[in-house]
Each structure stands twice: as C-alpha cells, then as structure tokens.
Amino acid sequence: MKAWMTAHGADVLVRNLAAGASSARLDDVQATIGFPLPADLRALWSLHAGQNSDQDGFVGAMDLLDPEGAATESENVKLFIGFLREDPSTWPEAGVSNEEAESSAWLAFAARGYADLLVVSGVTGRVFTCEKDSPPLHLVASSVLEWIEAYADRVEAGEYTVEEGFGECYLSRDTAMF
C-alpha cells in the first residue's frame, strides 16, 4: 500500500506515518483505557503509532490515530455507543453483538473530527465505522488485520484516487469509505 501511494503521488502520506510505539508505551495506553488492546491493533501501532501530523490522513480522509490520541477519543466513542444502546432494534443492522453493545471496551484508531471514526471492539476485536447515523455503528471487518488487508487491497486495486485540498493530501473513494 505504501508503494502504491508513493507511485501515485501520495508519498506525503507515507512520510507522515509515525514510527512504531514501544511495548511500554502501548502498555501505558492499555492501562489508561482499562482493557487489553486487540493484538492486531497493538501490532499495527508497533509498526506505525499513528501519524506525525493530523493532516494528510492515511485512512482515506481519516487520520490514523496514535495510541494516546485513540485514548482521548474514548469520550466520543462512548457517546456513539450510548446512542446505539438507546435503540436495541438497530443492533442487527449495525452488526453488533449484545456483548459488544453492552460493553464499554471500545477504541477509535482512525478519525476525521469527532463524528467519523473507525473503532474496534475490545471484546471481540471487530472493526466498525462510527458516524452520525442511525445506527451509529456499522460492522466493516472481523478484525483490524482483516480491515487493513482489505483497505490495502482496495488502494492497490485503484479504487482510491489521490486528492489534494484544504492544504492536505488524502485518498478518496466514490463509494462507501470502508
């Protein structure tokens, strides 16, 4: 995926990726959030602990959050989970299990503002979009690894185009983002 980005004029996205996080740093974040990081998210952050700046999003138009940034997004995620819990009839459409919906173990790992997030369930490791919508969550992958592999496949298949605007570079896709 990084090779595709470089070859298609989006090398700024690759250069913006932060170095990997140490195990101690990830342990500190895990202590802060109060539940174990999913193993594949921990592996991702061990390679790239987010981005160096919050422009030039690596995940479509979203920024790949650093571990501490993900922890600070927890209040926004809890707000959306609260909206989800208000209407259990939407849980099947969202793709959430009862265990996930009732859990507080959720963590964003990509974001664009407070209302466009990619979140992972700390209970199951499954990945959901999180947006101002009804229901606010939608299942997109069974794991962070499955999500990143599918995203990389779509990028490398040319389903995204490199866009520049408002002082930043990002990948755009005409259909649903994830």
* DSSP symbols for the chain: -HHHHHHTT-HHHHHTBPPPPPHHHHHHHHHHHTSPPPHHHHHHHHH--SBSSSSS-SBTTBEE--HHHHHHTHHHHHHHHHHHHH-GGGHHHHT--HHHHH---EEEEEEETTTEEEEEETTT--EEEEESSSSSEEEEESSHHHHHHHHHHHHHTT--EEEEETTEEEEE-SS---
pLDDT the model gives residue 110 = 95
Q: Return the CATH fold of 2-172.
A: SMI1/KNR4-like (3.40.1580)
- Report pLDDT for 90: 95
Give the model's pLDDT for residue 167.
66
Tens digit of each residue's pLDDT, the chain (178 residues): 788 878 877 788 888 899 999 999 999 999 999 999 999 999 999 999 999 988 778 888 889 999 999 999 999 999 999 999 999 999 999 999 999 999 999 999 999 877 789 999 999 999 999 998 889 999 999 999 999 999 989 888 888 888 887 667 777 776 555 5
pLDDT, position 31 = 97
Residue ranges of domains in the chain: 2-172
In angstroms, what CA-CA distances link 109 with 21, 53, 90, 127? 14, 15, 23, 10
Q: Say what the pLDDT of residue 1 is.
A: 79
pLDDT of residue 150: 94
* pTM for this prediction: 0.90
Q: Rounded CA gap, 62 and 51, in Å?
A: 11
